[in-house]
Amino acid sequence: MTIAATQASAYASTASPARIAERIRAAGSVLVTAHDKPDGDAVGSVLAVTRALRTLGKRVQPWLCGPFDPSLGVLLAGEKPGRAPEAMPADDFDLVIVVDTGSWSQLEILGPWMKARLERCINVDHHRSGDTGFADRIVDISCASCTQALVPVLDALGVPFDAPGSGGVGSIAEALFAGLATDTGWFRFSGADAAVFALASRLLSAGVDKDRLYRQLEETARPQRIDLLARAMGSIQWLANGRAALMRLRAEDFAQSSGSSEDLAGAVNAPMTVGSVEVSALLSQNGTDPVVKISLRSKPPMTKGGAFVDVNQLAAQFGGGGHVHAAGAKFKGSMEQANQALAQAIERALASR
């Protein structure tokens, strides 16, 4: 068994929602954070927990680590989270809640701070692999988003999801919906099952304005995003007779477009509109960063129970992970080395199914 497989098999729930709620009630002060470079699910999860704990009278501080898509700033609704690495938390929190990850590789910024306080850390996640080893954790891979996995905990705490603003602005419901919608591709991905739609209905009933939220989160891109997307599409390398598309964005692409990593949201999905494509991958290297970022997507099978490429397993070959249809990793080496290694891995994965 590989190291990645061993970690995956050991990464499972060790606590119930009631136990997590018990630890939260016992804490006077709480820090809430997620993986570095948080996405919509991570930001939504941090805000949902933060707002829930405030209703219980807790002293709570959200922390966001590294850059994130500027469009997600609308979710903050006046919230002023701590930002690492610009600053680091004080050593006076009774509890640290980590959401949307259980992997040290995704907690590089606050990881050392957490390792010195392991007994205070708990986490709620929905990914298949992790290695933080926090004693109390909920890992529910049946959930399409971390915000969905958080709902039983929030229900155990007895907090209402609605209020405070018109259209749900600044509410727990809005934060939960943002994570659920963005991690399911606005309910297009295969993980959007009956339970997801039931939760979405509950959150809409709590006052979420989905049309406003969609426009604020998905239709606020800068022109640089289109430029980078065009460059990525122009770099496509077709693999396995068109069954996979591999794209590359180099440092000069970012420099010439004046774009940044935050402008890449959704770029890896673009080739998935091609009928023959089963796997899409994007390699990106910005500035002088010696690490090449790998983003992976795959399509679900055409028929239930059919074969597909598990990109979580593909990413694990490079020390990464995620979900079966959406995953990522980091490659320490040149773009050429990353391209060759990933192309070979994708072709092996396609040949085996």
- pLDDT tens readout for residues 201-257: 999 999 999 999 999 999 998 999 999 999 999 999 999 999 999 999 999 999 999
* pLDDT score at 167: 64
Strand partners, 328: 295, 321
Choose between 70 and 288: higher pLDDT. Answer: 70
Q: What rounded mean pLDDT belongs to the chain?
A: 93
- Are 8 and 129 part of one and the same domain? yes
- Are 83 and 190 part of one and the same domain? yes
Cα–Cα distance for residue pair 253/327, rounded to 1 Å: 23
Residue that is last in its domain, among 166, 185, 218: 218
Q: What is the pTM of this model?
A: 0.84
Place of tokens 């970012």: 254
Per-residue pLDDT for 1 more than 60? no
- pLDDT tens readout for residues 160-217: 998 666 568 899 999 999 999 999 999 998 899 999 999 999 999 999 999 999 999 9
Q: How many structural domains compose the chain? A: 2
Cα–Cα distance for residue pair 306/148, rounded to 1 Å: 26
Q: What is the dihedral of CA 188, 231, 286, 319, to 10 degrees?
A: 50
CA distances from 54 to 58, 168, 228, 324 (A): 5, 17, 40, 35
Single-letter amino acid, residue 267: A
* pLDDT score at 5: 41
- Are 214 and 242 part of one and the same domain? no
- pLDDT tens readout for residues 40-57: 999 999 999 999 999 999
Residue that is last in its domain, among 195, 218, 241: 218
Asked if 309 and 349 count as a contact pair (C-beta separation under 8 A), the reply is yes
- Structural domain of residue 212, as residue ranges? 3-218
Angle at 331 between CA 297 and CA 114, to 5 degrees: 95
Q: Which residues contact 87 (CB under 8 A, 6 or more apart)?
A: none
- Are 236 and 315 part of one and the same domain? yes
